[in-house]
C-alpha cells in the first residue's frame, strides 16, 4: 500500500511550566483525563485519520514515552505497512544530532521520512488536547495544490497576541504570518499542525543545511521563508475543541472540562475513540460509605469517601471520611482516611496519609509530585 | 530449554442448561464477571503467570464468543510466534452427540497431536466453570517433588461456612491425617464432616501419563472430556493433592453466577481474587472513564468503565458501557455490558444480559429467591 502521508509528532517539549509534573516525564507523557496521556490525542487522531506511519520525535526524558508508545499497538498502528517509531537524537560521524528546533528535528530525521517516501508530511505537536480528522485537512491541501497547509483555530481577539496569527485572503491563502503580534489583524491562530508537500520541504531543508542553516523552527523560520518565496500556503480552519495544556492551570482546567459528559471530547460513541496503552485493573469498587458525584472514575479505583467534581485515574484509593473536590488524581495514588483535597493535581503514585490535606485555589492549583508522600508520621511535630 | 515445561488443556464443554438464557449463545467460560472480566480470564491468567505459552481449548459449539474474546491470546502472552499459541478445537458437543463407531478411533486425536507437539513435560488440565486464581508454578513444583502420577487441586471449606450449601462440585476428597489423598466420594457422605475438601477439577499430570491414560481410554472405549477422564481413572493412579486457599466459585447455575458476582462486593473476597500475586488479565477495551452525574448515588457497587451513572445503584455489579438514567434505581442486580436503563426505571434482584434496553419508568422486580433474568438484547417497556 502506498504511503501517502507520514506523521511526525514533535514530542520534545520539556514543558518546564508544568513544574514537578515534567521533572522526570516529557510533557506529552503527562497523564490526562483519567486514563490517557497528552500524546494519546495526537496518536489517536492519526490512527483514526488512517495516517498509519507515525514518527515520534523526542529528546527529553524519552523512557516513559518509549514505554507508553512502543510500536503503536495500542493505537492499532501495528500493521505491516505502518507503525509508531520513536526518533531520538543520536551522535553520528557528522556530529551530534541534537534537535535545535522543530524544523531542525525534521531535518535530522530525513532518512526516516525518506525510507517511507511519502508525498506529504503531517507535522504535529504532542501536547495538545483535541480530536481532528487529518484526512480532511489533507483533502483541503490537495484541492488547493498547496505546498503548505497550516491548521488554524479562531481565538478570542484579546487572546490572539499570544499566538502565531495567520492573515489570509478570501480563498484561505496565507498572505502574512505574524508571531505573537501586538495588534493582530485576524484571530486565526496556528495550532502547530502543518501538512507539507514532502519533496518541497525536503528541498528547502537540504538546501538550507548546505548554506545558511537558518531554518530551525517552522513558525519562526520556515513559514516566513515559504511566504517570501511565494509558495502556496493555505490556512485550514478547525472549529472543534482544542487546548494547549502547557501550564498547571490549563492542564487542570482541561481536565475539569473533560468531566462534563456533554464535552466534545468526552464522547462515548465509537467513531473517534481516544486510545491509550493502560495496564489492566479490576472494575471500580465503591463501598457503602462512598459518595461520588459529577466525577469521572477509571478501572482499579477503590472509593470509601466523598468525590465531587474530580477525576480519579486508574488504581486510585480514597479512604473513609476523605473528601476530594475539584481535583485531578493521577493513577496509583493512595488517599488515606480523613483527607481533604481541593483544587489540586496529585501526581502518579503519590501517597496522601491519613488526616493530611492538599488545598489549592481555583487560580492557584496545588500540585503533588509523582510518588511524593504528604503527611504521615514523618511530618509529625513539624507544624 | 525451560525446566519442567508446561502445556495446558482447558475444557469448555460443561453442561450449561441451568444457566439459560445467559448461555443461549455462549459457553460458561464467556460469561462476564465482576464488571469487566469473562470467566475464562481467570484460568488464562493462571496459565499466563506460569509462563505457559501454549493452550488447547476444547469448545462445545461454534466458539464465536470465545474467539472474539481471546483473539491472538496476546493479552495473556499466548501470541508467541515461536511454538506457542492458542489452539482451538470446536464442536466437541457435536462429536459427543454423534457417536459413530468408526469415529471413536480418533476421538482423542486432537488431544494426542496437541500433547505431542507441545513438547512439554507436564500438562495443566482444567474445566472452565470454576473461578479460582491458581499459582501453577507452585503446584507443578509440588507435583514433581511428590513423585505422584497426578496432582489434584482442591479447596477446603468448613461445613458450616456461610456458603456451605453451594458446594463447589458433586464429590469430595477424603484425605488422611497427613493430608494425603485416600478417596473421592459423593458429597452427601461428607456433609457432617468438619471440613469438606472439594476438587476444583484442575490437575497437573505428566504428558506421558496423560498419553497413557488416553491410550487406555481408547482401548476401553471410554469417551469423555479430558478433565473428566482424569477423574474417571483417578483411583488407578497415585494422586497428590494441592490445597488452594484463595477464592473459588463454581459457576454452574444462575444462582451460583449471581452469588459469585455479589460476593465480589465483599472487599476481602474481591482482594483475594484480584489483588493476589497473580494479576487477572483480560481483553483491553478503549472505553472512556465512567461518569457519575451530580445526582448519582452509587454505594456497594462494582462498575466497569465507559458507563454513565445518573441514578441510584446499590449492591450491584455493573459491567462496561452501562447507562443508568436519572432517577433510576438499581439494587441487588447484575447488569451486563451495553445495557441502557431509562430514567426512573426500577430494577431489583435481576440479571440483565448484554445490550438490553429498559424503557424509562419500567420495573423489573425480583426477590432473593426469585431472580429475574432478562436475555441478551431484550427490550423492556414500561
Domain B291-380 in CATH 1.10.10.10 = no
Q: Is residue A194 within 8 Å of residue A151, measured between CB atoms?
A: yes
The shortest CB-CB distance from A283 to any of B34, B291, B308 is to: B34
- Nearest by CB to residue A286, choosing from B36, B286, B299, is B299
Taking CB atoms and an 8 Å cutoff, what residues of chain B touch A310? none
The correct CATH number of B6-275 out of 3.40.50.720, 3.90.550.10, 3.40.630.30, 3.40.50.280 is 3.90.550.10
Residues 31-50 of A with CB under 8 A from B: 33-35
* pLDDT band of A383, cuts 50, 70, 90: very low
Q: Is A240 near chain B, with CB under 8 Å?
A: no
Domain map of chain A by residue range?
5-258, 285-374
d(CA B124, CA B8): 5
Q: In whole angstroms, how far apart are CA B367 and each of A99, A367, B262, B371?
A: 68, 49, 14, 6
Find the angle CA(B153)-CA(B157)-CA(B161) to the nearest 5 degrees: 155
* Residue found under cell 513558525: A219
| A238 contacts: CB under 8 Å, gap ≥ 6 | A130, A132, A151, A152, A153, A191, A193
Question: From the DSSP assignment, how many helices (H) and strands (E) are in chain B?
Answer: 10, 27
pLDDT at A93 over 70: no
Q: Would an 8 Å CB–CB cutoff place B286 in contact with chain A? A: yes
| Mutate: best of B288, B301, B303, B307, partner A, most A CBs <10 A | B288
- The answer to whether A360 contacts chain B (CB < 8 Å) is no
Compute the nearest-CA separation of B245 from chain A (Å). Answer: 21
Please state the pTM of the whole predicted model: 0.92
A12 known member of a binding site: no
d(CA A103, CA A297): 40
ipTM summary value: 0.92
Best of B289, B296, B322, B336 to disrupt the A interface (most A CBs within 10 Å) is B289
Q: Which residue of B has its CA nearest to A75?
A: B286
What homologous superfamily does CATH list for A5-258? Spore Coat Polysaccharide Biosynthesis Protein SpsA; Chain A (3.90.550.10)
Nearest to B303 among A261, A266, A284 (CB): A284
Q: Do the chains contact at A294 and B293, CB–CB below 8 Å? A: yes
Q: Say which CATH topology domain A285-374 has.
A: UDP N-Acetylglucosamine Acyltransferase; domain 1 (2.160.10)
- Please say whether the beta carbons of B143 and B260 come within 8 A: no
Distance CA B375, CA B20 (A): 9
B289 touches chain A (CB under 8 A): yes
User: Do A350 and A372 contact (CB within 8 A), yes or no?
Assistant: yes
Same fold, B6-275 and B291-380: no
Domain ranges of chain B: 6-275, 291-380
Q: Which residue of B has its CA nearest to A32?
A: B289
Q: Binning pLDDT at 50, 70 and 90, where does residue A349 land?
A: very high
- Measured CA to CA, the distance from residue B176 to residue B181 in angstroms comes to 7
Query: Digits of tens for pLDDT over chain B (382 positions)?
Result: 456 799 999 999 998 899 999 999 999 999 999 999 999 999 999 999 999 999 999 999 888 999 999 998 989 999 876 778 899 998 888 777 776 555 666 789 999 999 999 889 999 999 999 999 999 999 999 999 999 999 999 999 875 554 444 556 678 899 998 888 999 998 888 878 888 899 999 999 999 999 999 999 999 988 888 989 999 999 999 999 999 999 999 999 999 999 999 999 999 999 999 998 899 999 988 888 999 999 999 999 999 999 999 999 999 999 999 999 999 999 999 999 999 999 999 999 999 999 999 999 999 999 999 999 999 999 999 8
Cell of B299: 454505594
pLDDT at A114: 95
A285 contacts in chain B (CB < 8 Å): 267, 270, 301-302
Question: What value, to the nearest 5°, has the Cα angle with vertex A179 and ends A174 and A183?
Answer: 90
Amino acid at each position: 500500500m502506498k504511503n501517502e502521508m507520514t506523521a511526525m509528532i514533535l514530542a520534545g517539549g520539556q514543558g518546564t511550566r508544568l513544574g514537578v509534573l515534567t521533572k522526570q516525564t516529557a510533557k506529552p507523557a503527562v497523564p490526562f483525563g483519567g486514563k490517557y496521556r497528552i500524546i494519546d490525542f495526537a496518536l489517536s487522531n492519526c490512527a483514526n485519520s488512517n495516517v498509519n506511519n507515525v514518527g515520534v520525535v523526542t529528546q527529553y526524558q524519552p523512557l516513559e514515552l518509549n514505554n507508553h508508545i512502543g510500536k503503536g499497538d495500542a493505537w492499532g498502528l501495528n500493521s505491516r505497512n505502518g507503525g509508531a517509531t520513536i526518533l531520538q537524537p543520536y551522535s553520528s560521524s557528522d556530529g551530534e544530532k541534537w534537535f535545535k528546533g522543530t524544523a531542525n528535528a525534521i531535518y535530522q530525521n530525513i532518512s526516516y521520512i525518506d525510507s517511507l517516501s511519502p508525498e506529504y508530511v503531517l507535522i504535529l505537536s504532542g501536547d495538545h488536547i483535541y480530536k481532528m480528522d487529518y484526512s480532511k485537512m489533507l483533502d483541503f491541501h490537495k484541492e488547493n495544490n498547496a505546498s503548505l497547509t497550516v491548521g488554524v483555530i479562531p481565538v478570542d481577539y484579546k487572546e490572539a497576541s499570544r499566538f502565531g496569527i495567520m492573515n489570509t485572503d478570501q480563498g484561505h491563502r496565507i498572505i502574512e504570518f505574524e508571531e505573537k503580534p501586538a495588534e493582530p489583524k485576524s484571530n486565526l491562530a496556528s495550532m502547530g499542525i502543518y501538512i507539507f508537500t514532502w519533496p518541497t520541504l525536503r528541498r528547502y531543508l537540504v538546501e538550507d543545511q548546505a548554506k545558511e542553516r537558518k531554518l530551525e523552527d517552522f513558525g519562526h523560520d520556515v513559514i516566513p521563508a515559504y511566504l517570501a518565496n511565494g509558495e502556496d500556503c493555505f490556512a485550514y480552519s478547525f472549529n472543534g475543541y482544542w487546548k494547549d495544556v502547557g501550564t498547571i492551570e490549563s492542564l487542570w482546567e482541561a481536565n475539569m472540562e473533560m468531566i462534563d459528559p456533554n464535552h466534545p471530547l468526552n464522547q462515548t460513541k465509537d467513531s473517534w475513540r481516544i486510545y491509550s496503552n493502560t495496564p489492566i485493573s479490576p472494575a471500580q469498587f465503591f463501598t457503602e460509605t462512598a459518595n461520588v458525584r459529577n466525577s469521572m472514575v477509571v478501572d482499579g479505583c477503590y472509593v470509601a469517601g466523598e468525590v465531587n467534581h474530580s477525576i480519579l485515574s486508574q488504581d486510585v484509593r480514597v479512604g473513609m471520611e476523605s473528601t476530594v473536590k475539584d481535583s485531578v488524581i493521577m493513577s496509583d495514588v493512595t488517599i488515606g482516611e480523613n483527607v481533604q483535597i481541593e483544587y489540586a493535581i496529585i501526581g502518579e503514585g503519590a501517597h496522601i496519609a491519613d488526616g493530611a490535606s492538599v488545598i489549592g485555589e481555583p487560580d492557584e492549583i496545588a500540585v503533588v509530585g509523582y510518588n511524593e508522600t504528604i503527611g504521615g508520621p514523618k511530618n509529625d511535630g513539624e507544624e | 530449554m525451560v525446566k519442567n515445561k508446561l502445556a495446558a488443556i482447558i475444557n469448555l464443554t460443561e453442561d450449561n442448561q441451568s444457566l439459560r438464557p445467559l448461555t443461549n449463545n455462549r459457553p460458561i467460560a464467556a460469561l462476564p464477571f465482576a464488571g469487566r472480566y469473562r470467566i475464562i480470564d481467570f484460568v488464562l491468567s493462571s496459565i499466563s503467570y506460569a509462563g505457559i505459552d501454549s493452550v488447547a481449548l476444547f469448545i462445545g459449539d461454534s466458539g464465536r464468543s470465545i474467539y472474539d474474546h481471546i483473539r491472538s491470546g496476546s493479552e495473556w502472552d499466548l501470541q508467541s510466534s515461536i511454538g506457542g499459541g492458542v489452539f482451538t478445537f470446536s464442536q466437541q458437543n457435536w462429536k459427543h452427540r454423534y457417536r459413530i463407531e468408526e469415529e471413536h478411533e480418533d476421538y482423542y486425536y486432537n488431544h494426542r497431536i496437541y500433547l505431542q507437539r507441545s513438547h512439554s513435560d507436564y500438562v495443566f488440565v482444567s474445566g472452565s466453570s470454576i473461578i479460582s486464581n491458581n499459582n501453577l508454578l507452585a503446584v507443578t513444583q509440588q507435583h514433581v517433588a511428590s513423585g505422584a502420577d497426578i496432582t489434584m487441586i482442591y479447596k477446603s471449606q468448613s461445613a458450616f461456612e456461610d456458603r456451605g450449601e453451594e458446594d463447589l462440585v458433586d464429590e469430595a476428597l477424603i484425605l488422611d491425617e497427613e493430608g494425603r489423598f485416600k478417596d473421592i466420594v459423593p458429597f452427601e457422605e461428607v456433609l457432617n464432616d468438619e471440613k469438606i475438601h472439594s476438587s476444583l477439577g484442575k490437575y497437573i499430570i505428566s504428558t506421558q501419563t496423560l498419553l497413557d491414560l488416553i491410550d487406555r481410554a481408547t482401548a476401553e472405549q471410554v469417551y469423555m472430556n479430558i478433565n473428566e477422564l482424569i477423574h474417571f481413572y483417578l483411583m488407578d493412579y497415585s494422586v497428590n493433592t494441592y490445597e488452594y486457599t484463595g477464592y473459588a466459585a463454581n459457576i454452574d447455575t444462575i444462582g451460583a453466577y449471581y452469588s459469585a458476582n455479589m460476593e465480589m462486593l465483599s472487599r476481602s473476597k474481591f482482594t483475594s481474587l484480584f489483588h493476589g500475586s497473580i494479576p487477572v488479565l483480560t481483553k483491553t477495551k478503549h472505553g472512556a472513564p465512567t461518569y457519575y452525574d451530580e445526582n448519582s448515588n452509587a454505594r456497594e457497587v462494582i462498575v466497569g468503565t465507559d458507563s454513565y451513572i445518573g441514578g441510584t445503584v446499590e449492591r450491584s455489579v455493573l459491567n462496561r458501557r452501562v447507562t443508568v438514567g436519572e432517577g433510576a434505581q438499581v439494587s441487588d442486580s447484575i447488569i451486563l455490558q451495553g445495557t441502557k436503563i431509562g430514567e426512573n426505571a426500577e430494577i431489583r434482584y435481576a440479571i440483565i444480559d448484554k445490550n438490553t434496553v429498559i424503557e424509562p419508568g419500567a420495573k423489573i422486580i425480583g426477590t432473593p429467591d426469585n431472580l429475574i433474568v432478562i436475555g441478551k438484547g431484550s427490550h423492556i417497556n414500561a
